[in-house]
C-alpha cells in the first residue's frame, strides 16, 4: 500500500528533474508533507508527445463512475491486477501512464498481530533526489460537467528493505525507465509491464512520529527521524 507521501520540492526543481519543457504551464501547488488520497498533486504525463506536469486528484475515478467517491478506494492499483480490475483496465490498455513525483513516501509497520499498534516510517532515495512512482491517470466528467483529472499509484511486492515493514510497496521508476513508461519510446505494452517490479536499488528508511497518521498534520517536522524506544 502507498497512502501517504511528501512532496515539498517546488516546481522549479520538478521541472528540471522531469525535463518538462519551458513553455508548459506551471501548476500551482503548496509544499505537502502529508499528501493523502483525494489531495491534488502533480503528475507527469505525455500531452501530444510532450511532457506535461499538471495537478490531478489522488484516487483514480473511472470515466464510467457515477460520482467521485470511488477515489477513496482507488488510490492504489496492484500491478498484478491492472489488466483485470475494471477501474484500471481501461487506462492501462489505453496507455494512460504517468509519473508521480514524491520526495518520500510513508509506510506503517504493524507492531502487534491485531495491527492496532503501528510504527510509521519514511522511505526515500539515498541521495534524497525526487523519486518517480508509477501511476495511471484518467479523465472523469461529473454530473455537473466538471472535468476531473485523477490518478492512482501502482504497487508491487516489497523489496528486501521494505519487506520487514509492509507486504506492498509503490513501484519506483528510475529515470532510465521514464521514456518507456510515459510512452515516449515505441515499445509494446509488455515493456511497460516489465517495469512493475520491486525497486532493485538501495532505499533509506527511518522512523518518524505517529503524527503523520493524522492527515490534518502537515508540517516539515513530520519527516524528522525519531529514536525508537
Q: Which residues are catalytic?
A: 2, 107
Classify 56 as helix, strand or coil: strand
What does the alpha-carbon distance between residue 153 and residue 175 come to, in Å, rounded to a whole number?
A: 17
Closest by CA to 123, choosing from 16, 23, 223, 21, is 223
- Give the angle 78-84-86 at the CA atoms, nearest 5°: 95
What does the alpha-carbon distance between residue 132 and residue 123 come to, in Å, rounded to a whole number?
A: 13
What does the alpha-carbon distance between residue 36 and residue 58 come to, in Å, rounded to a whole number?
A: 7
What does the alpha-carbon distance between residue 163 and residue 157 come to, in Å, rounded to a whole number?
A: 8
Give the residue carrying C-alpha cell 512520529. Answer: 209
Amino acid at each position: 500500500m502507498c497512502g501517504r507521501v511528501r512532496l515539498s520540492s517546488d516546481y522549479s526543481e520538478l521541472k528540471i528533474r522531469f525535463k518538462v519543457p519551458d513553455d508548459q504551464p506551471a501548476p500551482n501547488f503548496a509544499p505537502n508533507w502529508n499528501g493523502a488520497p483525494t489531495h491534488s498533486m502533480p503528475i507527469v504525463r505525455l500531452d501530444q508527445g510532450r511532457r506535461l506536469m499538471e495537478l490531478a486528484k489522488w484516487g483514480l475515478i473511472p470515466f464510467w463512475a457515477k460520482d467521485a467517491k470511488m477515489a477513496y478506494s482507488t488510490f492504489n492499483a496492484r500491478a498484478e491486477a491492472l489488466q483485470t480490475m475494471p477501474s484500471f483496465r481501461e487506462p492501462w490498455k489505453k496507455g494512460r501512464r504517468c509519473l508521480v513525483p514524491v520526495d518520500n513516501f510513508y509506510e506503517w509497520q504493524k507492531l502487534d498481530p491485531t495491527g492496532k499498534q503501528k510504527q510509521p516510517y519514511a522511505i526515500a532515495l539515498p541521495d534524497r533526489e525526487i523519486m518517480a512512482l508509477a501511476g495511471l491517470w484518467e479523465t472523469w466528467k461529473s454530473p455537473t460537467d466538471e472535468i476531473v483529472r485523477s490518478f492512482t499509484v501502482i504497487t508491487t511486492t516489497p523489496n528486501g528493505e521494505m519487506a520487514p515493514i509492509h507486504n506492498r510497496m509503490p513501484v519506483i521508476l528510475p529515470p532510465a525507465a521514464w521514456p518507456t513508461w510515459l510512452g515516449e519510446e515505441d515499445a509494446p505494452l509488455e515493456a511497460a509491464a516489465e517495469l512493475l517490479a520491486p525497486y532493485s536499488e538501495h532505499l533509506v528508511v527511518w522512523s518518524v512520529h505517529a503524527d503523520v497518521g493524522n492527515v490534518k498534520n502537515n508540517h516539515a517536522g513530520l519527516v524528522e527521524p525519531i529514536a525508537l524506544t
